[in-house]
A and B are shown apart, each in its own frame.
Chain A
Amino acid sequence: MSVSGPTVESNMRDLIAASRPAPNLHRSPLELRALKSGILTALTWIGALLASVPLFSVIYELVVAGGSRLNWETLTALPPSAFETGGGFGNAIVGTLVMVGIATLISVPLGILAAVQLAILDPDSKLTHTVRFLAKVLTGFPSILAGVFVYAVMVVTMKTYSALAGGVALAVLMLPTVVLAAEQAMSMVPKKMKDAAYGIGCTRTQVILKVVLPTGAPGILTGVMLAVAGAAGNSAPLLFTALFSNYYMSSLTEPTASLAILIFNFSGMPYDNQIELAWAASLVLVLIVLVFNVLARLVGRQKY
């Protein structure tokens, strides 16, 4: 192979190339391939639209039915009794926030520790594979069982329904989601980044704290938010643990109201006032989850 000047060989190649007809590069819409592509594209659009119909109709319904009752009174007042008008669900908002807060405080540190073990310290042992498998199974765990479990462990021993028990039950539900999301986020931190940290003289702890966790933070946060959203709207585990209360909570060890249970209770009542409040409470629940998601995204977006 020579680089300098044309050779006999390359001249021959040019000649052969020139004698070939120019290929037709135009699109022909009636070809089978184009038809198939068109049909499939249409199908995916229809699928996407159908899938979003329930979502949008729920949101529409919520805003229409719940929006009208959304005001300062409903956000702060206590739940009305049967034939009362007005009232609200301030205590349930506080209860939900407190219990989801407790659940987050428990499940996030525990979940991240577990994820560090699974993703970094011991990613390939039998124990790790078992734990990972169990966590996957537990994400589909019937939430009512979390409630029954915590009822047996906490409510029975403490002899009272409480926000604490409710928080723990929600934490049980959140934990697997947090673990799996955090593990995923941490194992996606490139090996070469970890090598760089080791190469500069980091201990394993420093590699985890200074490189793996900060780099994986956005992914971890997304997982936490998913778990929070799931927990905030779940009523089954709270039925057996926090129960409900018609008053603002004054301690963590007394029955406590929550939006999810309030919606569950009020939506089944034969009174218009309560049904309207259930709609408004649903809207508030969605808004709370939305606000947390937006905040998490702002705080945890990938900066670099």
Chain B
Amino acid sequence: MNAHSEMKVAAEVAAPASLGIVMNCQLEKVFYGDFLAVRNSVVPIEKNKITGFIGPSGCGKSTVLRSLNRMNDLIPIFRFEGKVTYHGQDIYDKKVDPVVVRRYIGMVFQQPNPFAMSIYDNVAFGLRLNGFKGDMDERVEKALHGAAIWNEVKDKLKNSGLSLSGGQQQRLCIARAIATEPDVLLMDEPCSALDPIATRRVEELMIELKEKYTIALVTHNMQQAMRVADTTAFFGVDISQGSRTGYLVEMGPTKKIFEEPEQQLTREYVRGEFS
């Protein structure tokens, strides 16, 4: 209990109080049942920047990312200790409705997951959900333009979203996520199911999107992190306690993380010496 409160203090001190920080994740402990998955990580997310999360498999990148919009609440055994402030409010506060949080903090998943509906309805889904009353056609078109897929689908908006190729489906999912104009976009390995060309398009898209949105991106692809991330957070796995617990090793400007990291672990990982 004592160690617990100490950590809490440490986390708060470490949180930078910059104006450009939209979200600040001050994670103390995250459990799946009894398993401590991630500990002591402070991850600030800067406005209009792309924050990349890298690290070996199982180090908890997805867990941290999905904690940022309370997606993990859907897993009954998940437990979060710490806080995630979003515009100064702790989204894990008892008074906060996770459903509302997710309307401001959108998500793009690893596997493209369009609904079994038309392309148009996929994009309009979130707008209708929010009771949008304006010009639906215009907003759908704008979102599809924004996701760089308009030209490919403009003649078949009534076709099934599932009839598109994987890369198109992923861009459709991005369109769906940005149609409601969320504040922050969480992307969990959005290119892992895509070929290099589609990957490049999505990367270009992310760079365009950060003009308006703030993006947190999990990626296994070092080149991708270098190409698109402004800030990079490197997570590692601590196996010293006989368990596998992830934690933030180092975070900083992408160039620094890749060229002159402070931690030996980071250096080994970005050079590919890490298993």
Q: B74, A195: Cβ atoms under 8 Å? A: yes
Report the Cα distance A194→B161, complex, angstroms. 15
Q: A201, B113: Cβ atoms under 8 Å? A: no
- Shortest CB-to-CB span from A12 to chain B, Å, is 29
Q: Does B274 contact A (CB under 8 A)?
A: no
CB neighbours of B115 from chain A (8 A):
193, 196-197, 211, 215
Report the Cα distance A190→B109, complex, angstroms. 14
Report the Cα distance A304→B118, complex, angstroms. 7
Q: B161, A304: Cβ atoms under 8 Å? A: yes
Question: Quick one: given A195-B113, A303-B160, are A201 and B103 in contact (CB under 8 Å)?
Answer: yes
Q: B109, A304: Cβ atoms under 8 Å? A: no
Q: Does B269 contact A (CB under 8 A)?
A: no
CB neighbours of B14 from chain A (8 A):
none
CB neighbours of B126 from chain A (8 A):
200-201
CB neighbours of B103 from chain A (8 A):
200-201
Q: Does B23 contact A (CB under 8 A)?
A: no
- Shortest CB-to-CB span from A209 to chain B, Å, is 11
Q: B162, A200: Cβ atoms under 8 Å? A: no
Q: A200, B180: Cβ atoms under 8 Å? A: yes
CB neighbours of A201 from chain B (8 A):
99-100, 102-103, 126, 129-130, 180
Q: Does B254 contact A (CB under 8 A)?
A: no
Q: Does A203 contact B (CB under 8 A)?
A: yes
Report the Cα distance A193→B160, complex, angstroms. 14
- Shortest CB-to-CB span from B104 to chain A, Å, is 8
Q: Would you give the 0/1 interface string for B88-110, flagging 1 where the beta carbon is closer than 8 Å to chain A? A: 00000000000110110011010
- Shortest CB-to-CB span from B162 to chain A, Å, is 6
19 contacts between A and B (CB under 8 A): A190-B113, A192-B109, A195-B74, A196-B173, A198-B74, A198-B102, A199-B69, A199-B71, A200-B125, A200-B176, A201-B99, A201-B103, A201-B126, A201-B180, A202-B129, A203-B99, A210-B129, A304-B118, A304-B161
State the B residues within 8 Å of A (CB).
69, 71, 74, 99-100, 102-103, 106-107, 109, 111, 113-118, 125-126, 129-130, 160-163, 173, 176-177, 180
State the A residues within 8 Å of B (CB).
190, 192-193, 195-203, 206, 210-211, 214-215, 302-304
Known contacts A196-B173, A199-B69; 18 further A-B pairs (Cβ under 8 A): A193-B113, A195-B109, A195-B113, A198-B71, A200-B107, A200-B126, A201-B102, A201-B126, A201-B130, A206-B129, A210-B125, A211-B115, A214-B116, A304-B116, A304-B117, A304-B118, A304-B161, A304-B163
